[in-house]
Chains A and B, each alone.
Chain A
């Protein structure tokens, strides 16, 4: 009996070790936000105004907090490198033999990942948002809330399409893994993760907001921040949907073209 007790205790402490680690890393995630917000506090103080660009200080803080929410939907860690690894190392064979759709399989997998993450992170996130409640707008009306959920789901799908395309480039280029770093850097900036895109000079901003990345993070964040009118939200949703259809089609096309190449030299 005693040895099972030991096994039980070991297993339990193992889970708890990882749990603690998860909570720690979830809170650590907010460190860069704290530093960025302190930097903006200094900027607001230096400027001596209560408004920088189109945002007040509270909204700036809210922006970075809501970026975290938008990113939990849109970010796809290891998706692109996973796909390109499957291609390079022949792991693709496993999926080709099974009666499932490869990209569909990954969408399902990612939904499961997100679900587990939401359950695990709900506590820490709720705590952080509760502590920062003075910086945030109140709960939106039910209609706006529904639209917000839709934009977040679209952010998830858009993030999936973009990362899948990068991964599928592995059919043509062997070095996708090292290209990833470059891509992440660009995405960090172009998606509005680094700072609100509205602060960019007009010329650069109009180019940046033409790209799909802004619809992955910046616009969903502005919607969460309740900075957009309903008509604008609907417009964003349509553009998001357009990008998802366009990029999804491209990913499908790359998949079928790439598979022909793969079959050709995988032999």
Chain B
């Protein structure tokens, strides 16, 4: 009953977003074009790298391509469902419009996390999946049903991790008014997570790598799923990955509750 109601709200959100998106069709097409162009350029960059070396810290070209595909899937899903919502949270806090969300008879976190959806980013996904399939076949790996059944929860955990981290960051704007916005943080997070995690081990005595894996596990979101699918299955790391995403999700609801307690409307 409860679930059905939230399902209905969700459908309504997605429909509204679609209507909004379709009223700027030229914009939509140009955005999709931009995404495809970006992917093409990243592929050229990878080609340039592997013209010069056979592996990057043990990742072969096919494995690297798979990592890129995984990264695109995880970030694409996040951007589709959560990015504009996280961005909106800090905006709502600043303008005081958060009130209009809080008075509604539904979970605040639900309303804050799902009202917007960005269909442009969704178009990245088929390309990303195709890239993964190509990369796997170039490595001579057959994709079985078992692989898919493992890959989907791994991707989900990665998205949940990103969502929880960015959502918490957005919520902290209740306490800290700042300019370094969700946009910036997202840009740097995407940038860090794009590469094989091993490249960070040589920097600052591995402190950066440790921090980005065990404190703010942003490095894992694409690396771990890709690693499991194409390279090695490390049970402890996989368990840690799922555990960490769950802990972060719970933490995000906790942080939101804490923040709302000290939220005072900006108006009057």
Q: B191 near A: Cβ within 8 Å? A: yes
Q: B49 near A: Cβ within 8 Å? A: yes
Q: A47 near B: Cβ within 8 Å? A: yes
| Docked CA distance A175–B30 (Å) | 9
**Nearest chain A CB to B31's CB is how many angstroms away?**
6
Q: B8 near A: Cβ within 8 Å? A: no
Chain A, residue nearest B28 (CB):
A178
Are A46 and B188 in contact, with the CB atoms below 8 A? no
Are A178 and B203 in contact, with the CB atoms below 8 A? no
Are B198 and A42 in contact, with the CB atoms below 8 A? yes
Q: B19 near A: Cβ within 8 Å? A: no
Are B37 and A186 in contact, with the CB atoms below 8 A? yes
Report A24-53 CB contacts with B as 1/0, cut-off 8 Å.
110010011011001101111111000011
Are A42 and B34 in contact, with the CB atoms below 8 A? no
**Nearest chain B CB to A181's CB is how many angstroms away?**
5
Are B184 and A53 in contact, with the CB atoms below 8 A? no
Q: B55 near A: Cβ within 8 Å? A: yes
Are A179 and B30 in contact, with the CB atoms below 8 A? yes
Report B175-212 CB contacts with A as 1/0, cut-off 8 Å.
00011100010001001101110111011000000000
Q: B213 near A: Cβ within 8 Å? A: no
Are B180 and A21 in contact, with the CB atoms below 8 A? yes
Q: B126 near A: Cβ within 8 Å? A: no
On chain A, the residues within 8 Å of B200 by CB distance are 35, 38
Set B33, B44, B45, B195: member contacting A182, Cβ < 8 A: B33
On chain A, the residues within 8 Å of B188 by CB distance are 28, 31-32
Q: Which 4 pairs of residues, A with B, have the shortest CB-CB distance?
A: A46-B53, A47-B53, A178-B27, A182-B34
The residues in A between 157 and 197 inclusive whose CB is less than 8 angstroms from any CB of B are 175, 178-179, 181-182, 185-186, 188-189, 194-195
Known contacts being A32-B191, A41-B202, is A47 close to B52, with CB within 8 Å? yes
Q: A128 near B: Cβ within 8 Å? A: no
On chain A, the residues within 8 Å of B191 by CB distance are 31-32, 35
Chain B, residue nearest A201 (CB):
B51
Are A43 and B195 in contact, with the CB atoms below 8 A? no
| Docked CA distance A17–B180 (Å) | 11
Are B26 and A175 in contact, with the CB atoms below 8 A? yes
Q: A199 near B: Cβ within 8 Å? A: yes
Report B22-59 CB contacts with A as 1/0, cut-off 8 Å.
00101100110110011001001100110111111100
Q: A11 near B: Cβ within 8 Å? A: no
On chain B, the residues within 8 Å of A39 by CB distance are 49, 56, 195, 199
Are A42 and B26 in contact, with the CB atoms below 8 A? no
Set B38, B48, B195: member contacting A195, Cβ < 8 A: B48
Q: A126 near B: Cβ within 8 Å? A: no
Report B220-234 CB contacts with A as 1/0, cut-off 8 Å.
000000000000000
Can you give 15 contacting A-B residue pairs, CB < 8 Å? A21-B179, A24-B180, A28-B180, A28-B184, A34-B203, A35-B194, A38-B202, A39-B195, A43-B56, A175-B26, A175-B30, A178-B24, A182-B37, A185-B37, A199-B52
On chain B, the residues within 8 Å of A189 by CB distance are 41, 44
**Nearest chain A CB to B192's CB is how many angstroms away?**
6
Chain A, residue nearest B41 (CB):
A189
On chain A, the residues within 8 Å of B45 by CB distance are 194-195
| Docked CA distance A175–B45 (Å) | 29
**Nearest chain A CB to B65's CB is how many angstroms away?**
15
Q: A200 near B: Cβ within 8 Å? A: yes
On chain B, the residues within 8 Å of A25 by CB distance are 179-180, 184
Given pairs A47-B54, A189-B41, 20 additional interface contacts (CB within 8 A): A17-B178, A25-B184, A28-B180, A32-B191, A38-B195, A38-B200, A39-B56, A41-B199, A41-B202, A42-B199, A43-B49, A44-B53, A45-B57, A178-B30, A179-B30, A182-B30, A182-B33, A186-B37, A194-B41, A199-B52
On chain B, the residues within 8 Å of A199 by CB distance are 48, 51-52
**Nearest chain B CB to A58's CB is how many angstroms away?**
16
| Docked CA distance A25–B44 (Å) | 29
Chain B, residue nearest A34 (CB):
B203
On chain B, the residues within 8 Å of A200 by CB distance are 44, 48
On chain B, the residues within 8 Å of A179 by CB distance are 30
On chain A, the residues within 8 Å of B52 by CB distance are 43, 47, 52-53, 199
| Docked CA distance A44–B38 (Å) | 25
Chain B, residue nearest A46 (CB):
B53
On chain A, the residues within 8 Å of B49 by CB distance are 39, 43
Known contacts being A43-B49, A189-B41, is A31 close to B192, with CB within 8 Å? yes
Are A175 and B199 in contact, with the CB atoms below 8 A? no
Q: A5 near B: Cβ within 8 Å? A: no
| Docked CA distance A179–B37 (Å) | 12
On chain B, the residues within 8 Å of A45 by CB distance are 57
Are A185 and B57 in contact, with the CB atoms below 8 A? no
| Docked CA distance A124–B243 (Å) | 39
On chain B, the residues within 8 Å of A31 by CB distance are 188, 191-192
On chain B, the residues within 8 Å of A4 by CB distance are none
